[in-house]
Amino acid sequence: MPVPTPHISAKEGDFAKTVLMPGDPLRAAFIAQTYLEDAKLVNPVRGINGYTGRYHGKEISVMASGMGMPSMGIYSYELFSFYGVDHIIRIGTAGAIRSDLKLRDVVAGMGACTNSAFAKQFQLPGDYAPIASYRMLKTAVDTAKQQGIDLIVGNLYSSDTFYDERSDSLLKWQKMGVLAVEMETAALYMNAALCGKEALAICTISDCPLTGESSSSAERQSSFTQMMEIALETAVLL
């Protein structure tokens, strides 16, 4: 497919090799305005704004993914397949499942369990286990350590359902040692594998569904800076 695509109006070469992808377009704008030098808007389609600028001399892009695996599936596939992007770092929010996690903890998804049927399109003779790029994960862990941040690594649960009628579903994932629930990582990891590219999800705990604690939408938009800075410093080293 030639560029622009139906969802991205950027021209060839407008995106850097590494793209940071928050779910929220306003978080993408905050990162571009706060951290990137000479940030340029390269995609305004559907309000899913994408920007390219420089961070510590390295060209980096940031663009929202929207909510859910269908949205992440579209944008990550188009960036990998049509815009020459090699690495995507999801920087999102997640709900704590493991009981010792608290608000504002930062977690990285070594793998991503899911209730999604996203992998069925590949017609595999079994169940696929979506995993992060080890190189990106190790770089993020080392970067966080240098910044004095405890980056907690483990399994995420990428759910297609935000409002789940099964009241005990998170407890079952908790029993299996899953860290947190979110809605995009499994699709991102599968697209990276399909396209021969690399991906990593770094998430900030924004709420604790099992206790009822939560952050405000304003806090989610602009105050989860530890996650952003780990991702930016990781991107510089890729």
Asked if omega into 4 is within 30° of 0 (cis), the reply is yes
Asked if residue 220 has pLDDT above 80, the reply is no
CATH code that applies to domain 18-237: 3.40.50.1580
Rounded CA gap, 123 and 62, in Å?
32
Q: pLDDT tens across 153-209, in order?
A: 999 999 999 888 877 889 999 999 999 999 999 999 999 999 999 999 999 999 988
> What does pTM read for this prediction?
0.95
Reply yes or no on whether 207 is catalytic. Answer: yes
What is the residue type of 204?
T
Query: Of the listed 14, 24, 105, 207, which one is catalytic?
Result: 207
DSSP bridge partners of 108: 153, 202
Strand 87-96 to 180-182 pairing: antiparallel
pLDDT of residue 223: 65
- Band (pLDDT 50/70/90 cuts) for residue 32 is very high
The 3-state DSSP class for residue 108 equals: strand
Angle among Cα 93, 96, 98 to the nearest 5 degrees reads 145
- Band (pLDDT 50/70/90 cuts) for residue 221 is low
Q: Which residue has the tokens 């305004």?
A: 44
Residues 6+ apart with CB under 8 A from 147: 226, 229, 230, 233
